[in-house]
């Protein structure tokens, strides 16, 4: 585990606000994410479910796809909160997407139900990951 600085209370609260925007009528599990760029810009995401369940998209991917589509390329921190009893962790698919687009050093601040925070890095969550360097050149 790696702790990179003190998590921001403002961004914890923002993640909670964004969580309330989730569209989760099927799972009833709401997730909020705030992604911070290296210049300090913020991109938010919530999970958005679909009646064709597999078309659901997670909060983390909404946030990072919004950011990439606005031309952002470098990220430092991700704040994540959900309805799990303790911490909500990124799913496997989001771990791969975050690794590819934000990199191994991204600090991921997992927000507990009681708002305490545990900070890990992307590489903590996805060791021995697949990457573009595994592809034939
Ligand atoms: N979900 C996220 O948004 N992020 C995660 O990392 C875990 C899962 C969403 C997807 C689905 O809408 C609901 O939580 C239950 O899996």
* 54 Cβ neighbours under 8 A, 6+ residues apart: none
Q: How close are the terminal C-alpha atoms of the chain, in Å?
A: 33
CA of 133 to the centre of ligand 1 (A): 28
Put simply, whether the predicted model's pTM sits higher than 0.85 gets the answer: yes
Per-residue pLDDT tens for 24-46? 999 999 999 999 999 999 999 99
Give yes or no for residue 58 CB within 6 A of ligand 1.
yes
Its domain, for residue 45, covers: 9-128
Q: 95-117 burial, b if ≥16 CB within 10 A, otherwise e? A: bbbbbebbeeebbbbbbeeeeeb
Ligand 1 center to 114 CA (angstroms): 19
pLDDT tens per residue across span 71-129: 999 999 999 999 999 999 999 999 999 999 999 999 999 999 999 999 999 999 999 99
Give how far Cα 44 sits from Cα of 2, 37, 84, 88, 119, Å.
23, 11, 19, 16, 18
Residue owning the nearest CA to atom 10 of ligand 1: 58
Q: Is residue 33 part of a domain?
A: yes
Residue 115 lies in a domain: yes
- Asked if residue 3 belongs to a domain, the reply is no
CATH number at residue 22: 3.40.140.10
* Structure tokens, 82: 């959900």
CA of 58 to the centre of ligand 1 (A): 5
State which of 82, 86, 126 you would mutate to test the pocket of ligand 1, scoring each by most atoms of that ligand within 8 A of its C-beta. 82
Q: How many domains does the chain have?
A: 1
């Amino acid at each position: 585990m790696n702790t990179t600085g003190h998590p921001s209370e403002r961004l914890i609260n923002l993640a909670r606000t964004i969580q309330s925007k989730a569209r989760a009528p099927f799972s009833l599990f709401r997730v909020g994410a705030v992604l911070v760029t290296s210049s300090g810009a913020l991109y938010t995401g919530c999970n958005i479910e679909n009646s064709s369940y597999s078309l659901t998209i997670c909060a983390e991917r909404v946030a990072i796809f919004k950011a990439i589509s606005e031309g952002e390329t470098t990220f430092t921190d991700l704040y994540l909160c959900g309805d799990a009893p303790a911490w909500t962790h990124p799913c496997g698919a989001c771990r791969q997407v975050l690794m590819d687009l934000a990199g191994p050093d991204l600090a991921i601040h997992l927000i507990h139900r009681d708002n305490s925070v545990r900070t890990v890095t992307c590489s903590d969550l996805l060791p021995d990951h697949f990457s573009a360097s595994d592809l034939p050149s």
